[in-house]
Structure 1
Amino acid sequence: MPFAQTIGGTRYVFDDLKTLLARATPLRSGDVLAGIAASSAAERIAAQRALADLPLVHFLTGTVIAYEADEVTRLILDRHDAAAFAPVRSLTVGGFRDWLLAAEPAAVTALAPGLTPEMVAAVSKIMRVSDLIQVAAKCRVVTRFRNTIGLPGTLSIRLQPNHPTDDPRGVTASVLDGLLLGAGDAVIGVNPATDNIDAVMRLLDLLDTVRDRFAIPTQSCVLSHVTTTMLAMERGAPVDLVFQSIGGTEATNAAFGVSLSLLREARDQALSLKRGTLGSNVMYFETGQGSALSAEAHHGVDQQTLEARAYAVAREFSPLLVNSVVGFIGPEYLFDGKQILRAGLEDHFCGKLLGLPMGVDVCYTNHAEADQDDMDTLLTCLAVAGVTYVMGVPGADDVMLAYQSTSFHDGLTARAMLGRRAAPEFEEWLARMDIGMDAERIPARLSPALIGLA
């Protein structure tokens, strides 16, 4: 079904839904690389106007990837909740934008099961940055494992103690650094330098020993491939969360070495361990705009829509945490700070609107046209938008993955600026350990209780 719009006397025709969505997307280098971006600002505006007039119900019959050809499409349509969709069923994409801006938080939050990724991707494309922030801030998503994440007024931090050789001393030093600066309530999560099962198990034992020794009300994770984590569980390793990178098409997930059935098996295995004390959200997913294109698995669909489809995969497994590693894939997909800013806010908006505990790795690679000032801007915008969590990396420089992120101090700054708190159970632990969190005690002094870890 073609879509048409006339701008300034020129008639623009878009052959199908995926073309319309691609042309309506704010400029980003990945869509240019794929050859699907609008050829001019005028064409982009025409596409956005045509998209604004499109009824939301069209997304229940028109697909960007055929139902028969893709298990993610089947998941999206088979799981759609018609009752939850009813309040906005009669609206166009433009009308939906207006509804979201006017609606109360409870009404926006309740929509999640009734929305498809393509719907939320579409509405994000006609929103300004301030719109994305305002609506995302209304969404309430709370998850639990050993603490409570996502409560109003909180901002959690993943403590990311990566080391280029997985040296236990280096990892432990970074863990100590993060704990003393209030990080770690989202998760203490290590990206292993290799996916070797023995190395992964050593890291799992190390993190669990630290957590157990000091009775830290948080969860740990070694971000190995899901099959490695499953093997570690079979061998009796202390696995809290199962991690996996995912994408928005069946072919992208196949490139990651996973399928929906494998993820279900991994979740069931983690649930059987019964390691959570407050809840049973045991999955941790990472995503990123451009992953499908880099895997040559994008089907001609724009990268932002595919990113939103990845959130449908995540939603299926009730995760504790989801985050977009927004600038990590590189400038081929998000060229500069402006594109990274827009993409990070889109990702957070779409994830939250779909009901996910959404975090963002506020980051960039060293060959991107971006710097730490751009990251400060994105971090501040996300904190205002109610982001669930961000990363805490020693010095904001990941020495293993070789990219730039946010530091423990950046997380503290965001909390201080906006009056955000850590997860309540974790904050109580910080107080018990005499680790300072107020302005007079930053940087935190060494807690006597943690001297043995130093």
Structure 2
Amino acid sequence: MPGFSHSIGGETFRFADLRTLMARATPLRSGDELAGIAAATDVERVAAQLALADLPLKHFLTDAVIPYEADDVTRLILDGHDAASFAPVSHMTVGAFRDWLVSDAATSEALSALAPGLTPEMVAAVSKICRIQDLILVARKCRVVTRFRNTIGLPGRLATRLQPNHPTDDVKGVAASVFDGLMYGSGDAVIGINPASDNTGAVTKLLHMLDELITEGGIPTQSCVLSHVTTSIEVIEAGAPVDLTFQSIAGTEAANRSFGVTQDILQQGLEATRSLKRGTVGDNVMYFETGQGSCLSADAHHGVDQQTLEARAYGVARLYQPLLVNTVVGFIGPEYLYDGRQVIRAGLEDHFCGKLLGVPMGCDVCYTNHMEADQNDMDQLLTLLGTAGVSYIMGIPGSDDVMLNYQTTSFHDALYLRRVLGLRPAPEFEAWLDETGILASDGSFTPNPTPPALFKTSLPQMEHS
């Protein structure tokens, strides 16, 4: 009969098609249970994983989880596949690919060369048969370096997004959080604000404030107001100082349309932002956020498991050569990732898949208050991601986002990870920290009792904004 099957202990498990096989092979998570596509038992899950391990990687080039004619993400993935880059592993099964990935033969250079030849479904499949240690080992070997005003993703470095959100977009409140974060060495990935309002006036006001601060302080970083891409295009056309254009994206055409975006709109955002030529060391100008469960929440999942769809979102992201991509791993809620255990596994899967695809992956290590998770779970995921070579994390005052009402990582959490693992900020930003006296003489990051001069001159100006 058509489909896939595998026998365990005299019982044969059959899977009707590739999307069913992928869903049944996925480690347990509440979103797939909600969608009615998860394995019914652990034995069925293992049978699906064994059947998936025997599947040739080439199969994913002829059997799409969402039909080619029905979805522009599928078309993007298959039309953009690089056969030459794929050639070194084209003879492998999913299981053999996993064995190669954890071997010494899979060097950083080999993985970088391979990335254009991998499809999201291939990397999602191999992640499903990986242990936690496999996800960490392989991701650590992947290096994806991007640049705008500084360099993100170098070995031995950990960047942070300084996230100074405010429930009313109050400029002075935002500025206070920015100054607080800078004093702890946070903000090299981006100083990025989720605006309470997406109207052009509010967005423009915040953009000008951040531009003034970065320019006056000579800070080698970039700013972003995380408005909708169409709002960013509009304010660019009006002359606003946009460094990075942001957008939430997903792994299906229908889910992206629910976000109000298409591939053409994203291309317009890329071209508009690059036209400003505001970068000093590079022109990676896009910032994308993703999250497992977004397609299901939009009723746009096509019966595909949420982890595979998340990997497909990275296939969309890499088309636009972003500076930053991060999975907001625990933000959507317990309907999709029920507890700390599921969040930890999902965060490591996402990071692994994004890095294998050549995407500059960060992670918002976070949870909502109605999940079966707490800050101890986040400490575990944070430490594991740091070991895995995550490009950046979030830095928020006190770990508590007062505008979005969720729990994430603080400026102190970034200090912890840098200290424990011997990691440093982006090199250009590190030099600035040293010049301003924020960085201690021994290289540690401790609050400086004397604020740099730029803080003293900027605060009074903010009062008139």
Compute the TM-score of the two structures, normalised by the length of structure 2.
0.97
Question: Are 1:40 and 2:44 an aligned pair?
Answer: no
- Report if the CA contact (8 A) 2:419-2:444 is conserved: no
Gaps (5+ residues) in structure 2?
460-465
Question: What's the CA shift for 1:439?
Answer: 7.0
Task: Give 1:61 shift.
Answer: 0.2
Give the corresponding residue for 1:446: 450
> Does 1:134 pair with 2:146?
no
Q: Against the structure 1 CA distance between its residues 453 and 335, is the aligned structure 2 distance closer, same or farther, given a 3 Å change threshold?
A: same
Residue 137 of structure 1 aligns to a residue whose secondary structure is: helix
Aligned residue runs from structure 1 range 9-408, under 5 A: 9-102=10-103, 103-408=106-411
Matches of 1:335 and 1:439 in 2, distance apart?
39
SS at match of 2:275: helix
Q: 1:415 and 1:83, CA in 2 relative to 1: closer, same or farther beyond 3 A?
A: same
CA, structure 1 residues 440+429, in 2 after alignment: closer, same or farther (shift >3 Å)?
closer
Residues 438 and 447, structure 2, Cα contact 8 Å, conserved in 1: no
8 Å Cα contact 1:394/1:408 also seen in 2: yes
Structure 2: distance between partners of 1:333 and 1:105: 33
Residues in 2 aligned to 1:344 and 1:452: alpha-carbon distance in whole angstroms: 40
Say whether the 8 Å CA contact 1:180–1:446 is kept in structure 2.
Answer: no
Aligned-pair distance for 1:443?
A: 2.9
The CA RMSD measured in Å over matched residues stands at: 0.9
Could you tell me whether the CA contact under 8 Å between 1:436 and 1:445 is conserved in 2?
Answer: no
Q: Which amino acid aligns with 2:355?
A: K
Q: Secondary structure at the match of 2:37?
A: coil
1:28-77 CA distance string (max 9 Å, x none): 00000000000000000000000000000000001000000100000000
Contact 1:435 1:445 in 2 (8 A): no
How far apart are the structure 2 equivalents of 1:163 and 1:63? 43
Deviations 1:283-339 (A, max 9, x none): 000000000000000000000000000000000000000000000000100000000
CA 1:331/1:446 → structure 2, altered by over 3 Å: closer, same or farther? Answer: farther
Write out per-residue CA displacement over residues 189-236 of structure 1, whole angstroms, 9 at most, x where no aligned residue: 000001111001000011111101101000000000001111110110
Is the CA contact 1:180–1:445 (under 8 Å) kept in the aligned structure 2? no
CA distance in 2, matches of 1:363, 1:324: 10
Structure 1 residues 441 and 37, CA, compared in 2 at 3 Å: closer, same or farther?
closer
TM-score by length of 1: 0.99
Within 2, Cα distance between the matches of 1:275 and 1:139? 28
Cα deviation 1:361-397 (Å, max 9, x = unaligned): 0000010000000000000000000000000000000
For 2:75 and 2:360, locate their aligned partners in 1 and report how far apart those are by CA, in whole Å: 23
CA distance in 1, matches of 2:108, 2:153: 14
Distance 2:423 2:158 in 1: 6
Q: SS in structure 2 opposite 1:162?
A: coil
Aligned length: 454
Structure 1 distance, partners of 2:207, 2:32, is 39
Following the alignment from structure 1 to structure 2, what is the Cα–Cα distance between the partners of residues 165 and 448?
Answer: 27
Give distance in 1, aligned partners of 2:200 and 2:163: 20
Contact residue 22 and residue 36 of structure 1 kept, 8 A = yes
Q: Any idea what SS the aligned residue of 2:154 has?
A: coil
Match of 1:3 in 2: 4
Task: Name the CA shift for 1:378/1:440 in 2 (closer, same or farther; >3 Å).
Answer: closer
State the AA in 2 paired with 1:254: R
Alpha-carbon distance in structure 1 between the residues aligned to 2:197 and 2:337:
27
Whole-angstrom CA distance in 2 between matches of 1:231 and 1:446: 40
* Cα distance in 1, alignment partners of residues 280 and 63 from structure 2: 43
Residues 1:398 and 1:441: Cα distance change in structure 2 (over 3 Å): closer
CA distance in 1, matches of 2:275, 2:13: 55
Deviation at 1:436, TM superposition (A): 2.5
Structure 1: which 4+ aligned runs deviate by more than 6 Å? none
Query: Percent of counterpart pairs with the same letter?
Result: 68
- 1:440 is displaced (CA, Å) by 6.3
Aligned equivalents of 1:84, 1:369: Cα separation in 2: 42
